[in-house]
């Protein structure tokens, strides 16, 4: 019920948490150069962690993202404006391929989840 009340009067372009999560997960790098439905989605993704959004399990990552995103939504409703600075002023770290050891650890973690 609280979430329904929060979405009444939301500014145009501010998606619900599920759509915001999907948008944040699907944008390519450099993230700051992409077209976002609302800057709050970008900042929530940045604060949640791009790596976690790209590589984490949705059932664990989405609640974290949603909480952060809701805080940004509350700030938007309070009148705060957010501006995304383009990547020419904010360098992003390049994505590096994972090592074989890291991949094996991730595979072992997934196997433990299935046991």
Distance CA 107, CA 64 (A): 23
- What is the pLDDT, as a whole number, of residue 24? 97
Delimit the domains of the chain by residue range. 2-114
Per-residue pLDDT tens over the stretch 4-36: 545 555 666 799 999 999 999 999 999 999 999
Per-residue pLDDT tens over the stretch 58-92: 999 999 999 999 999 999 999 999 999 987 655 55
User: For the chain, how far is it from start to end, CA to CA, in angstroms?
Assistant: 36
Are 21 and 69 a contacting pair, CB within 8 Å?
yes
Of residues 113 and 19, more confidence is placed in 19
Burial of 41 (0-12, 13-18, 19+ CB in 10 A): buried
Helix, strand, coil shares, percent, the chain, to 5:
60, 0, 40
- Confidence band, pLDDT 50/70/90 cuts, at residue 95: confident
């Amino acid at each position: 019920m609280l979430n329904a009340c929060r979405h009444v009067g939301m500014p145009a372009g501010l998606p619900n948490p599920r759509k915001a999560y999907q948008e944040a997960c699907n944008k390519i790098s450099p993230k700051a150069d992409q077209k976002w439905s609302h800057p709050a989605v970008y900042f929530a993704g940045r604060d949640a962690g791009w790596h976690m959004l790209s590589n984490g399990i949705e059932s664990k990552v989405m609640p974290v993202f949603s909480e952060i995103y809701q805080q940004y939504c509350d700030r938007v409703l309070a009148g705060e404006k957010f501006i995304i600075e383009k990547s020419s002023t904010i360098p992003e770290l390049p994505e590096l391929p994972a090592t074989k050891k890291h991949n094996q650890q991730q595979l072992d973690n997934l196997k433990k989840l299935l046991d």
